[in-house]
Amino acid sequence: MSGSLFIISAPSGAGKTTILKRVLADLPAITFSVSHTTRPPRRGEVDGKDYHFVDRDTFCRLRDRNAFLEWAEVHGNLYGTSIEAVRKQLDTGVDVILDIDTQGARQVRALGTLSARSIFIAPPSLAELEKRLTGRATDSEETIRLRLTNAHREMAEAGNYDHYIVNDTLEEAVTMVRAVILSERSRNRRDLSGHFLP
Ligand code: 5GP
């Protein structure tokens, strides 16, 4: 009995983190995979909870040992998903969400060993995305520019995902993501709480 794997990608500023927090708070038997990153922690981020914050050497050592299911360089930093952690969580029957970028999603799809439902979260428009990124005020001007350039590239990959959800209204986006997860549960003969049905 294994949980299901979900991939959620979105251009930065599309509201993915807020949606994820809501979905995880509402639904039982689901968790998100804590990635490794070389990015320095933002204010309020906790090591081991938001990310495993590591230096580049440690990251490269793990990568060379094939410890990552996928890894990518995003906005100048390295990010990777631990295979072992994901496997362990899935084996306990818990659903796992990978909050990864489009490059990572492509790698998981290409692997073909783990079947994952993928969800792309889009902002209502690129103009709205720019407004949200600027308003966030946690990143420098240069970082915001880089993130906007990357957003164009990421939007072009939306067609490769199983589901496409526009985060216009937070409530609606949360409902749609929940619907995807619950429909997968019914496909796998599980109830709303994630219990396996006899
Ligand atoms: P942030 O630094 O804003 O938390 O994340 C930046 C981007 O990196 C987001 O698009 C996020 O989905 C992506 N990301 C986070 N963890 C991973 C990971 O383990 N692998 C990949 N490929 N992307 C990740």
Atom of ligand 1 nearest to the CA of 8: 12
Q: Please check whether residue 196 is in contact with residue 1, taking contact to mean a CB–CB distance below 8 angstroms.
A: yes
pLDDT at site 170: 96
- Closest C-alpha residue for ligand 1 atom 21: 100
Q: Of the given ranges (52-66, 126-140, 155-169), which has the lowest mean pLDDT?
A: 126-140
pLDDT digits (tens, 9 = 90+) for 88-106: 999 999 999 999 999 999 9
What is the Å distance from ligand 1's center to 37 Cα?
A: 8
pLDDT digits (tens, 9 = 90+) for 107-142: 999 998 888 999 999 999 989 888 888 887 677 888
What is the Å distance from ligand 1's center to 196 Cα?
A: 31
pLDDT digits (tens, 9 = 90+) for 167-189: 999 999 999 999 999 999 999 99
Q: Please check whether residue 167 is in contact with residue 19, taking contact to mean a CB–CB distance below 8 angstroms.
A: yes
79 within ligand 1 shell (Cβ under 6 A):
yes
Q: Please check whether residue 148 is in contact with residue 126, taking contact to mean a CB–CB distance below 8 angstroms.
A: yes
76 compared with 80, residue with greater pLDDT = 80
Residue 31 has pLDDT above 90, yes or no: yes
Q: Which residues have CB under 8 Å from 143's CB, separation 6+?
A: 75
